[in-house]
Structure formats: structure tokens, C-alpha cells
Amino acid sequence: MPLKTLIVIALRLYAIYWLVEGLSQLLIFGPAVVAVNLQMSKTHAWQSSQASALQSPFSLYSFLLMPLATLILATILWFIASRISTAVTKGHDTDLAFTVLTRDDLYHFAFVFLGLYFVLTSISGALREGFRFFPIVESNPQTVELLGPFLGHGATFVAGFVCMIGAGRWTRKLMRREKKQESLSSPPQAI
């Protein structure tokens, strides 16, 4: 298996990681920003001359810039992974001898490993935030602020579980897509 292929797999694994992290951060910060913005619109706090810079609507939405940037970078990394691997291995792309492992095996392992990582890292956060959110749903008007982190950890758990369960299907889709791209990029051979 070429070294270039292993680099593409590793870069795409990072892209999937960044995608899930960006989505979970959006679910954590999104409801909190909306709740604070709704509260401020009721009191018109940003219009007063004594309102701080943190009370302006723009600075509230700046909390969403990091998750959005993470999603954009994940998408860009996914699409340029093959170009990066070509640049990294330029002049010394060697064939690594894996007699037992195939590209399918590596993709399948990567999806299962990434899914397991997301599931295991989100369980404690989901439990912690769930215990903070559920006892006070009826008695506290700040439930929206506590719901965001719970949903973020829950989304990370679900994404990890989907990644593990769908590893075989996603591997087949990636392999079909890569074979199609390879056939389009390779020059026709003379007969």
C-alpha cells in the first residue's frame, strides 16, 4: 500500500474528528447564544450607553466563529487530503508491505476507532450535563443555557455511535468514490 494512501486516510480521519467536534460545539454554544440574545432583546441591554462589549449581539455571535471555522476547515481538509499527501510524499512515495491489511481494513478500523473515541469521551459529559439539566427543567428559566452542553455531548455520542455502526457502509462508499476518482484522474492507456 502506498504511503500516500495512508496519509490520505489519516488526514480524513482528522477531518471527521473536526467535523464532529465542530457540530458538537455548535450545539453547545448555539442555544446559549440564542438564549442570551433573546434575553437581551427583551431588556434592550445592548442599546444602553452603559452596556459592555460582551452584551453586543456581534460579540455574542463571535462565540460561534470557532465551531464554524472548525467545520469549514474539516470540509477543506477532506477535499484536499489527496493533494496534501501528494505534496508530502513527493519524490519518495514508497510502497509499504502490508500483506494482511488492505485499504478497506484501514478505513473500517479508522471509523470504528473514531466512533469509539467519540462515544467514550462524550458519556461522562452527557451524564454530568444531564444531571444538571433534568432536575431543574420545571423550576428554572435558565434551562435553555443548560440544554446546550447536554445536546452537544449527546450529539457527539450519537455521531460516534453512527460512525461505529456505519463503518462498513462508509468504508464501501469511500472506496467506490476513490476508485471513481482514480479512474477519472488516470490517463487512458494505449492498446
Task: Please write the tens of the pLDDT for every residue from 89-105.
Answer: 776 666 666 667 777 87
The answer as to whether 154 is a domain residue is yes
The answer as to whether 49 is a domain residue is no
- CA quadruple 15, 21, 23, 25: dihedral sign: negative
The answer as to whether 95 is a domain residue is no
Rg value, the chain, Cα: 22
The answer as to whether 191 is a domain residue is no
Query: pLDDT tier at 50 (50, 70, 90 boundaries)?
Result: very low
What rounded mean pLDDT belongs to the chain?
A: 75
The answer as to whether 156 is a domain residue is yes
SS3 52: coil
The answer as to whether 32 is a domain residue is yes
Which is higher by pLDDT, 61 or 80?
80
Q: What is the DSSP letter of 186?
A: S
For residue 164, the enclosing domain spans: 3-43+54-90+100-184
SS3 89: coil
Q: Structural domain tally of the chain?
A: 1
Answer yes or no: is pLDDT of 67 > 70. Answer: yes
